[in-house]
Structure 1
Amino acid sequence: MKYHENHLADYLHLLSKELYCPNCRSTEIIKYGKNKSGSIRYKCKSCGKTFSSLKDTLFFSSKINLKAWLAFLECILSGSSMLEACIVAKISTVTGVKWMNKIFKTLNHYQEKIVLNKKVYIDETYVHEDSSKIYLLEDIGKIKKVRKQPRGISRNKICILMATDEDKSIGYIVCHGRPQRKLVYNICKDHLRKNSTIIGDIDTSIAYTAEKMNLKRIMYKSNTYEAYENLEPVDQLCARFKFFIDKHRGFKKKFLQDYINLFIFIDNEKKIEKDLYKITIKLLKMMFEYSISSE
């Protein structure tokens, strides 16, 4: 992957929000040259103070030019790990972590407006908790007492709800262990239309959601050929998520929802835009429009 022959100043048009003086909030401003990073400086006619066009953005006071940012984002959006993206962008892993946090902030509310309709395929998948938070049970062995993990789906596994209508998808952490019906309902109620049909396995948590929202429900018994044949959209979604999260293994699970947001953004945008560069520019624009003062 090569750098794009573009400079930060060439992307200032991505700042679609209205510029104003951060000191007195006046909109009577004029251009006042450029700073060392190439971003345009402005001067306020009201208070006389100068400020950068990147003020209040995630790129304010950034010393790395956009060539590295484009390389980093394209690697992440193509499914590469953060370490691989750092090598390509020629930045340290410490900087890479900071950049990932900026991406996470940008995508924090990405899923809020996603609404699934018509046939909605729903299932859950699981991710192991951090080793430092693993819960162990004491058991009597042949010689002495031993400590081991509980069998099956226990509190050591984080339950993630995945849903798709084949055009777009959502993904949210539900709880530890088996999905709780009220938590599943609280997620689904904001993302499912009233005329939708829920398609999934025989799960009481999904049944509760269908009953509360008065939705039609189609069920298939797990681990059967019928389920394999009819639940393929959500099974493939879960498989893609597992592949994605495996690329980023080693992160603290407190950032799990951030990684889910990133995965959903990549998965959804690939269905809209077939061009990786266009998806990169879209994310970059979202990052430019993110306001630090709104945090």
Structure 2
Amino acid sequence: MIETDSNFEQLNSLMTFLLKKDIYKNRIIEACPNCNGKKYIRYGAYKGIQRYKCKECSKTFSNSTNSLWSYSKKNSPKWIQFIELVIERKSLRFCAEKLEISLVTAFYWRHKVLNGLNFDSIPEKLTNNVFISKKLIPENFKGSRNIMTDKRHNIWVIAAKSSNDSMIAKPISKIHWNLNSFNKKIYYLIDKKAYITTYCDRYLSAVAAKHNKKREYQVFDDKRIKTFPNILNLWLKKYHGVATKYLENYLSLFILFIINRKIDSISISNQLITGNRYIRTNEIGLTLE
């Protein structure tokens, strides 16, 4: 008797298996995700994905452990489709209807993706000519309950970009300029021999004057950083407001757009699963509060 598959359910299942197996095949495991031990052995495979057993804690793990969609019951193609929709900046409601997932699931998936991108948004170094600008964004409590204040303080967002298109953008402080926070989040990336050009801020100008001293470079304007406040303002409007506790993760996606980097859902998916990008739903936003 010939079994038919008119709805392609078996084909889709096979494609999901092959895709997931291929994606995780080249993932590098540096240590046990449970105890961080370096000694582990191969321990069979499950659904084509290599498993390991740690010699130090005796727990098992696999090439998929702590990846972006660890423990997710949804298939890989659906995740990749969702990542594409995140890149296209579609609304959560659109994503939920398109992929037939709940609105709550779409919310957490978006923040899992953004959190994963945040790991890779920090450049190794900012060299040569470095351009810095700021944007003050009113504090946003979108999605929060039991708000105890009517005040909306300004959040200082600093963007720094080198002439070779390496860039970082981070919220560094609330209400007032904070030099220590700036040093920890931005300045430590700037090469000592770099020349800093700043726009429209006396605090940043003071940092540049102290850093540059006798350094002489042929300096050009960087239009993307010079107009950074306006560009970021227009970009955020698409989301109808971004909660302050999630702002840093949204900035990691913003960087990909402002530097015009070619991105697609497949390459982003591969990028997100190569490291430990997993975050539990109850941890989303906690590190930013």
| Cα contact 2:153–2:175 (8 A) shared by 1 | yes
**Equivalent residue for 1:290?**
277
**Equivalent residue for 1:193?**
191
**Equivalent residue for 2:144?**
none
| Cα contact 2:122–2:168 (8 A) shared by 1 | no
**Equivalent residue for 1:95?**
105
**Equivalent residue for 2:157?**
160
AA aligned opposite 1:207: S
In the superposition, relative to structure 1, how do residues 52 and 178 fare at CA in structure 2: closer, same or farther (>3 Å)? closer
Question: How far 1:49 sits from its partner (Å)?
Answer: 8.2
Comparing 73-82 with 11-20, which one deviates more in the overlay? 11-20
Give distance in 2, aligned partners of 1:248 and 1:19: 38
Give distance in 2, aligned partners of 1:161 and 1:216: 25
AA aligned opposite 2:73: K
| Cα contact 1:196–1:215 (8 A) shared by 2 | no
Q: Give the 3-state SS of the residue equivalent to 1:64 in structure 2.
A: coil
| Cα contact 2:160–2:167 (8 A) shared by 1 | yes
| Cα contact 1:127–1:158 (8 A) shared by 2 | yes
**Equivalent residue for 1:117?**
127
Give distance in 2, aligned partners of 1:216 and 1:233: 26
| Cα contact 1:162–1:238 (8 A) shared by 2 | no
In the superposition, relative to structure 1, how do residues 160 and 110 fare at CA in structure 2: closer, same or farther (>3 Å)? same
Pick one of 225, 238, 246 that aligns with 1:234: 225
Please give the residue correspondences for 1:1-295 in structure 2 after superposition, counting only pairs within 5 Å: 7-17=19-29, 27-34=40-47, 40=49, 42=51, 52-130=62-140, 132=147, 133-135=149-151, 156-166=153-163, 167-177=165-175, 179-215=177-213, 230=221, 232-265=223-256, 267-268=258-259, 270-271=260-261, 274-277=262-265, 279-286=267-274, 289-290=276-277
Structure 1 unaligned spans of 5+: 136-154, 219-228
Give distance in 2, aligned partners of 1:65 and 1:282: 15
Give distance in 2, aligned partners of 1:43 and 1:170: 36
In the superposition, relative to structure 1, how do residues 213 and 99 fare at CA in structure 2: closer, same or farther (>3 Å)? same
Question: How far 1:108 sits from its partner (Å)?
Answer: 4.1
Question: How far 1:52 sits from its partner (Å)?
Answer: 5.0
Q: Give the 3-state SS of the residue equivalent to 1:175 in structure 2.
A: strand
What does the per-residue CA deviation read over 1:126-176, in whole Å, with 9 as the maximum and x for residues that have no partner? 2222265442xxxxxxxxxxxxxxxxxxx6322211122251221111323
Give distance in 2, aligned partners of 1:206 and 1:130: 25
**Equivalent residue for 1:143?**
none
TM-score (norm 1): 0.68
- RMSD between aligned alpha carbons? 3.9
Give distance in 2, aligned partners of 1:180 and 1:45: 44
Give distance in 1, aligned partners of 2:267 and 2:137: 27
Give distance in 2, aligned partners of 1:182 and 1:45: 40
**Equivalent residue for 2:284?**
none
AA aligned opposite 2:264: L
Comparing 166-175 with 181-190, which one deviates more in the overlay? 181-190
Same amino acid, percent of matched pairs: 21
Computing the radius of gyration from Cα coordinates, the structure with the larger value is 1
Question: How far 1:285 sits from its partner (Å)?
Answer: 2.9
| Cα contact 2:135–2:156 (8 A) shared by 1 | yes
Comparing 18-27 with 49-58, which one deviates more in the overlay? 18-27
**Equivalent residue for 2:9?**
none
| Cα contact 1:129–1:157 (8 A) shared by 2 | yes
| Cα contact 1:121–1:233 (8 A) shared by 2 | no
Give distance in 2, aligned partners of 1:90 and 1:30: 36
AA aligned opposite 1:189: Y
Structure 2 unaligned spans of 5+: 1-11, 142-146, 281-286
TM-score (norm 2): 0.69
Question: How far 1:70 sits from its partner (Å)?
Answer: 0.6
